[in-house]
Chain A
Amino acid sequence: MTLTQRKVLRLALILSGAILLVVAGFGVHGATASASTLEAAMSGVGSEAVFVSAPPPVGQDTCLSCHINGENTNLWAPLGRWSVFGVFGLVFAFGVYRSASVWTQRKAWKPFWTRTVEWVDERYELSPMLSKLGAKPVPRFAMKWWYCLGGITAFLFVVQGITGIMLAFYYKPSAAEAYNSILFIENEVRFGAATRMIHHWAANGMIVMCIAHMLRVFIMGAYKKPRELNWVSGVLLLFLTLLFGFTGYLLPWDQRAYWATTVGTDIGGALPAIGNLILVFLRVGWDVSEATLGRFYGLHIIVTPLLTVGFMVAHFMMIRKLGVARPL
């Protein structure tokens, strides 16, 4: 590994740590409510002031052990304490373990990472396979920006998966509660508005990138023999992406969602012979109702993701096998 690569890996570690912090803080909701209760408690409103004592100095944490009692809903104070004091304890414990282990085993110390890799490799012999995968040559002509459109689509799918799971924790797929649960996500859930914004825009970005990737492949003739099935699986992935968008659009259950779904399913219903079948399958009846919401929710979070993952694996394995098409 070169110095730059090491630097990038370090950057990645820091960045993933930051993302982990954000994700950890995500679930803690009711931040606004707890702030106002804290204010009320500090000003003495709503509580019977029996003991009169001097007010705490400005900026003083009024509760030093609340995170243990479960009264403190603020995540950052205990997290900060742990990261300051906990690190010293971990370093000390590690030092003790390392010294003792070197002394008892009479062997040079190996880092945990090396031990883990050796332990797994001794049993499953993964390293020949991995080095074979890693040694696969990538042609230099494929190092242009327009070759990474498909990869961006795939990564945005990962983003959609993560943010989608975060939203699904709070979303309620019923006509009575869907709208309010979105309001709850936007206003109460920590980073809820950010999560929804990312899910919203990454969805649009995924469709744009998917189409851009497809047009690139089309112009360059990369779909020609022997890559026909790659193209077919790619088109199916585009349909699945559009199905994602179509089913996800209804979930907020507001006027725009409701009527966009109505006209969208109407178009499917205009087909001869099978139109009514499609319409009834999508709407679960003749009009958009709560049953439609349930159907779209199931399609959006279970059926479509599973199909997409399946086709993506096939798509990638075919690329792996056949390599990147050489342009004219």
Chain B
Amino acid sequence: MTTTQTTHPEGEKDSVPFFPNHFMTEFYVVIGIVVVVLIIGALGMLFPVGLQAPADPLDTPLHVKPEWYFLALYQLLKYVPPSVLGIEGPMLAVVMMVLAVMVVTIWPFLDKKEDSKKAMRIRAIGVVAFIILAIALTIIGEVS
């Protein structure tokens, strides 16, 4: 391993060559995931995912829910009043969501300032707030 470290182009002290050093790290991670996946598979043979009753368009269940990763958004939609300033509430909320998604997509072009520790801290706080809000909404959506 010492020979490969001296042969890579930059010869920096603070880096390792992709192969074999970093490749091996990735490889350990993959092995770990494979083991977890096989354990999940073994559990699946004992407790299958299962199915509900076959789909019936005429029989609407009491609590209709989307998948868990859309549940927070779905729950947020429920809090929107039916009419805001004469505009249809849900429509406004969905438009806001689409706009938010677009802002996220082009975010690097909006936040062009040189990065600083302070900006990083603000972003971290924002992320924590987002996570707490999303988890809270998901739980409320799940139990309601």
Contacts and interface: CB of A to CB of B under 8 A. Distances in A.
Interface of A: 1-2, 5, 8, 11-12, 15, 19, 133-141, 143, 148, 151-152, 155-156, 159, 175, 179, 182-183, 186, 191, 193-198, 200-202, 204, 207, 215, 218-221, 223-225, 227-228, 231-232, 235-236, 242, 245-246, 249, 252-260, 262-264, 267-268, 270-272, 275, 287-289, 328
A64 B48 CA distance: 34
Contact of A219 (B64, B74, B90, B123): B123
Given A224-B111, A258-B56, A259-B61, 11 more contacts: A8-B28, A138-B16, A155-B30, A186-B49, A197-B45, A197-B48, A218-B127, A253-B54, A268-B94, A272-B91, A275-B91
A255 B120 contact: no
B33 to A, nearest CB: 6
Contacts of B41: 191, 194-195, 197-198
Contacts, number: 216
Contacts of B77: 267
Contacts of B9: 135, 137
Contact of A260 (B25, B56, B66, B127): B66
Contact of B45 (A5, A193, A202, A289): A193
B57 A288 contact: yes
Interface of B: 1, 4, 7-10, 12, 14-31, 33-34, 37-38, 40-45, 48-57, 59-61, 64-70, 73-74, 77, 90-91, 94-95, 98, 104-109, 111-112, 115-117, 119-120, 123-124, 127, 130-131
Contact of B95 (A5, A12, A183, A271): A271
Contacts of B98: 271
Contacts of B117: 328
10 contacts: A136-B17, A136-B18, A159-B33, A207-B69, A224-B115, A228-B108, A242-B69, A242-B70, A254-B54, A258-B56
Contacts of A15: 31, 34
A72 B104 CA distance: 58
Given A218-B123, A328-B115, A5 B55 contact: no
Given A1-B20, A253-B55, A263-B66, A11 B31 contact: yes
A204 B70 CA distance: 12
B69 A194 contact: no
Contacts of A231: 107-108
A255 to B, nearest CB: 5
